[in-house]
Amino acid sequence: MGSVVEVNPLSRVEGHGTLRVYLEGRHVERVELCLTESPRLFEALLLGRSFAEVPDIICRICSLCSTVHKVTALLAVEEALKLPVSRTTRLTRELILHGGQLQSHALHLYCLLLPDLLEVKGVADLARQAPELLKAGLALKQVGNQIQEELGGRLIHPVNITLGGVGRRASRDTLYRLRDGIESVLPICTDTVQLFRQGFPFPPLSAPHYLAVQTGESAFSGRALTLESLPGIPVAGYREAISEWPVEHSHAKSARVRGLVPTVGALARLNLAPPAGGPVGELFKEVGGAVTGQDLRGNALAQALELYQSALAARDLVEELLEYDPADTGSPPVLTPAAGSGSAACEAPRGVLIHGYSFDASGLCRAADVITPTSLNQLALEENLLALAHGMEGAEPAVLVAALERLVRCFDPCISCAVHLVQL
């Protein structure tokens, strides 16, 4: 007779979720990841709202990811209205996104995942048994927080980055403080790479189909997506390549890209655009074998490498901003309503994030679409959970469930971002 083992709630993940394992005896029939955070219906909330309100509303979809949602929405609205932005604005956005990546990866690696690596129950046990490691991780997170707070005007739901500009350019004193903070955690970044290079003892998992934004001048945004070695997918036509649909057991949609199950995030980024040259490139030569061509077991190490990459890039951006033209204040232009459609893709810490909007001649939103990294990863995560369960066939249910929980945490889902679907 069949049975169901349920983990409710999933612990040490962002948001609320449940894991169900369907068994026939000791044989695993299927695994369901149920993202049960209440849907907030954000796409519907935007309909009829002014283009100027859209970025500030949509970033409320998630506190942890609010900065990258705000920037992605700004880029999409600016595309629709053909708004130019200054160099100061671009550099400020780039720096604040690196701050978001630092705080997000540090939180995931040190507070959510490290207890699994050290085989302790949670952060409280970590504070007792490895306090110096936890302090190091929180110091990293604090630097990311500081960058976002100083440039965004506040830590969550930034107000200083606006359509076409910034409310106030960062002062030299602010930039010096940020530079000092970044330099203070560079040794922690390299230590983090060594800490997570050992990985997790999972059996081989499903082979991933990596998906990432084709970045260029920006380290985060671009006009096309890369899916393995296939031709690039223009962001303007993303709906022709990406299919999404609701599933009965989850509040998040599932997705395929050109018929394939995508994997997005740090692992995909470093496989599709491995670092070459410089300190990160040298470190990647040393440890990159555990990332290149790797399944999900390499995601933690990929995030650790990106911590170092973001810290160095953030320091360079601070130096650029210190040298910028004083006449380029980054002040936003006068905004005029206009009809238009625009879309943008950014690399959020957890992977590809897409926003698309259409506006009428009065500048009111007539269509809104958001595709989040966790929605793109949902099918891949369930495939990997099933592969792990089959690899552990015959294990005691408690042992199996503990391993499946660890795997979910390796994926670093952001459930709040994922459960925005709306059916009208």
The DSSP secondary structure of 117-145, one letter per residue, reads: HTT-SSHHHHHHH-HHHHHHHHHHHHHHH
Residue 407's H or E segment, with its range, is: helix 397-411
417 is in an annotated binding site: yes
Q: Burial code of 77-86, b = ≥16 C-beta within 10 A, e = fewer?
A: bbbbbebebb
347 is in an annotated binding site: no
3-class SS of residue 288: helix
Token look-up 């997570």 returns: 196
Distance between CA atoms of residues 84 and 330, nearest Å: 11
Number of other residues whose CB lies within 10 A of the CB of residue 14 = 23
410 is in an annotated binding site: no
Residue 152's H or E segment, with its range, is: helix 131-152
- Sign, CA dihedral 206-2-33-192, equals negative
**Contact 214/226 with Cβ under 8 angstroms?**
yes
65 is in an annotated binding site: yes
Q: Token digits for 258? A: 């050109």
189 is in an annotated binding site: no
Q: Which has the closest alpha carbon to 321: 147, 111, 92?
A: 92
420 is in an annotated binding site: yes
Cis peptide before 9 (omega within 30 of 0): yes
370 is in an annotated binding site: yes
Distance between CA atoms of residues 113 and 398, nearest Å: 19
Alpha carbon 285 to chain centroid distance? 24
Binding residue numbers for Mg(2+)? 43, 62, 370, 420
> What residue numbers does the annotated binding site for Ni(2+) cover?
65, 414
**Which residues are part of a known binding site for Fe cation?**
65, 417
List residues forming the annotated binding site.
43, 62, 65, 370, 414, 417, 420
